[in-house]
Every structure is written in C-alpha cells, then in structure tokens.
C-alpha cells in the first residue's frame, strides 16, 4: 500500500510540474485551447504487447469515450469486445486519466490506467491490474526522438522503458499526416510469467493441455530487465471536419526468448518436468478507427 501511495504521489508531483511549465508558457499562446469530448470506434486485428502474443489471435472492437480539458488533463474509458471466430465477449474494460503538455517543440504526457480483464481472457496482459506511464519527446524538425517509461501493476510490478524515433509528413492542407516511427522496447516480464502460469496452460484450455493432463508453467527469468522487441510502424491520420480517421500498421520483431519450465502431470503416471525455449517470430498487426470531437 505504501509503495502504491509513493507512485501515485510521484505522478501527481510530475503533473503539478507540467502544469507550472504550461502556465509559464501560456502567455506565448495567442489562441487558448478548448475543452472537448471525443467518441471513437476502433478495430485491432490482434493484441500484441512487446512482441508477445497468445497462441490464438485476440482481435478487439473497441468503442471509447474521452474528455479533454483545456488545462491538459484528460480522462478516457474503453470497452474492448473480443470478436474472434471461437469466442465473442467483453474482454477488457479500461479507465485512464492523464495529462498532456506541449511547449513549442516539446511534448510530454503522463497517464495512469486501471484494467479489468475477463476471467477467460487470453490477452498476454490479462493478469495485470493497470499501468502508469510517462513519455517525453522533442521535435528537431528532421527527427523527433522520444523516451518512454512505465510501471505495470501486478502481483509483482514490471518496469519498462522505450526509445523511439519518428518524423511526420503532411499533405492535403495538413489534413493528412503520415508518421513513420521506430521504437525499441525493454521491460521486465512478471506480467508474462503470471499469464503463463494462470492463463496459457490453464485447465480450461484442453486443446493445449490435453484431457486430464495438468501443466504448470514457470518463467525463471521473468524479473530480468531486457530488450523485448523492435517495432516499425507508420500511423496514417486524416482529419475531415470533426472526424479523425486513423490506420496504424505495425511490425514487431521480438527478441530474447524466455526459458519456460513446465511441470506435466498426466492422468496416470508420475509428473515430470521439461524445459523449453519460447518460440518467437515477427508479427504484423494493425489497428484502424474513427474519432469524432464535440
């Protein structure tokens, strides 16, 4: 409880600092920003996190509603509906609050979210409880580098960091934006260890474990901080009045496969242990959506 309180106080302190910086910069802004709402609908063809995914695809249809205050604070909620051939259900509900700051070429954002996963979810993050994230970037014109950091709350918290490079291209009176980017992600993987232990080989997934066979999985190196994947993406955004249409294709190249220790207990006979190395492969996924501002 004390650890959680310190993290929340740290986030609030950073928000106050950003608000102070924005107040100092407000005299330079001729046109004040306006508070507004946004409603959106998006489709994700497969949920991939740090290059990791379930053995089955996890596609989401996600409606969202958000409020953005002119001060920079915002709050958002999303409801992700699993739309696979084998299962259809509400798989994830998420509430997020954060603060955005833009001063000239500098951008900053801090956010905290709470996740509620379905007990049957196969999402690799389905054992997590929420996240706290911060990102900083500076646009030099020819390139825009960014730094990201985050904490994922679990029975044992995870820590992540990322470094990215991007450059935006504009067309059609700046209504069309294409933003090719490259990102390196590093993290611990306690969330992934929990997913393997409680979801990947759960008794409910008989097709993988076999009738009557119990498999317990353990990732001995889940607490190691290491590079997880390299990601190439090219978000495309088109603004038409109060509508924003977006499409983001992403190629994730995962690295550093995990060592998985399995304890297999067949219906008859003694249990036995075996060790295997996680099989990784490049994965392409995409998301498309539309947002309306009002």
CA neighbor of 52 nearest in space, from 137, 128, 133, 155:
128
Which distant-in-sequence residues (6+ apart) come within 8 Å of 273 by Cβ? 261, 262, 263, 264
CB 292 within 8 A of CB 242: yes
Integer Cα distance of 80 and 195 in angstroms: 19
Which distant-in-sequence residues (6+ apart) come within 8 Å of 13 by Cβ? none
Of all residues in the chain, what percent carry a pLDDT higher than 70?
85
CB 253 within 8 A of CB 51: yes
Domains assigned to the chain: 37-293 (2.40.160.40)
pLDDT digits (tens, 9 = 90+) for 136-166: 999 999 999 999 999 999 989 999 999 999 9
Phi, psi of 39 (to 5 degrees): -120, 135
User: Is beta strand 144-153 parallel, antiparallel or unpaired with respect to 259-265?
Assistant: unpaired
Integer Cα distance of 42 and 40 in angstroms: 7
Query: So what's the pLDDT on residue 246?
Result: 98
pLDDT digits (tens, 9 = 90+) for 179-215: 999 999 999 999 999 999 888 887 655 545 556 678 8
In this structure, of 43-47, 121-125, 134-138, 204-208, the range with the lowest mean pLDDT score is 204-208
Question: Any idea how long the chain is?
Answer: 294
If residue 191 lies in a helix (H) or strand (E), which one and from where to where? helix 190-195
Integer Cα distance of 36 and 161 in angstroms: 31
Q: Is 35 helix (H, G, I), strand (E, B) or coil?
A: coil
Integer Cα distance of 4 and 156 in angstroms: 12
Question: pLDDT-derived band of residue 109, with 50, 70 and 90 as boundaries?
Answer: very high
Question: pLDDT-derived band of residue 29, with 50, 70 and 90 as boundaries?
Answer: very low
Q: Is 254 helix (H, G, I), strand (E, B) or coil?
A: strand
CB 108 within 8 A of CB 135: yes
Q: What is the pTM of this model?
A: 0.85
pLDDT digits (tens, 9 = 90+) for 79-99: 999 988 778 999 999 999 999
Q: What is the token pair recorded at 86?
A: 């084998």
- pLDDT at 67 > cutoff 90: yes
DSSP state of 209: H
CB 37 within 8 A of CB 215: no
- 25 vs 53, residue with greater confidence: 53
As a three-state string, the secondary structure of 63-94 is EEEEEECCCCEEEEEEEEEEECCCCEEEEEEE
Integer Cα distance of 243 and 181 in angstroms: 24
């Amino acid at each position: 409880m004390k650890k959680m309180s310190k993290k929340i106080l740290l986030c609030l302190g950073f928000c106050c600092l950003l608000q102070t910086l924005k107040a100092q910069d407000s005299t330079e802004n001729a046109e004040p920003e306006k508070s507004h709402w946004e409603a959106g609908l998006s489709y994700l063809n497969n949920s991939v996190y740090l290059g990791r995914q379930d053995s089955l695809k996890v596609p989401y249809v996600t409606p969202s509603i958000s409020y953005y205050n002119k001060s920079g604070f915002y709050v958002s909620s999303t409801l992700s509906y699993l739309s696979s051939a084998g299962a259809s259900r509400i798989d994830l509900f998420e509430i997020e609050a954060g603060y955005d700051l833009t001063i000239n070429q500098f951008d900053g954002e801090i956010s905290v979210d709470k996740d509620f996963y379905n007990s049957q979810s196969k999402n690799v993050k389905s054992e997590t409880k929420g996240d706290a994230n911060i990102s900083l970037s500076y646009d030099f014109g020819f390139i825009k580098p960014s730094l990201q950091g985050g904490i994922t709350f679990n029975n044992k918290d995870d820590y992540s960091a990322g470094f990215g490079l991007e450059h935006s291209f504009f067309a059609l009176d700046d209504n069309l934006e294409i933003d090719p980017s490259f990102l390196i992600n590093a993290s611990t993987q306690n969330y992934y260890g929990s997913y393997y232990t409680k979801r990947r080989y759960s008794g409910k997934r008989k097709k993988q474990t076999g009738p009557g066979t119990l498999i317990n999985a353990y990732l001995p190196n889940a607490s190691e901080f290491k590079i997880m994947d390299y990601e190439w993406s090219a978000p495309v955004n088109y603004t038409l009045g109060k509508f924003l249409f977006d499409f983001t294709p992403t190629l994730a190249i995962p690295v550093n496969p995990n060592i998985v220790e399995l304890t297999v207990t067949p219906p008859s006979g003694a249990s036995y242990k075996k060790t295997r190395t996680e099989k990784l492969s490049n994965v392409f996924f995409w998301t498309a959506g539309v947002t309306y501002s009002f």
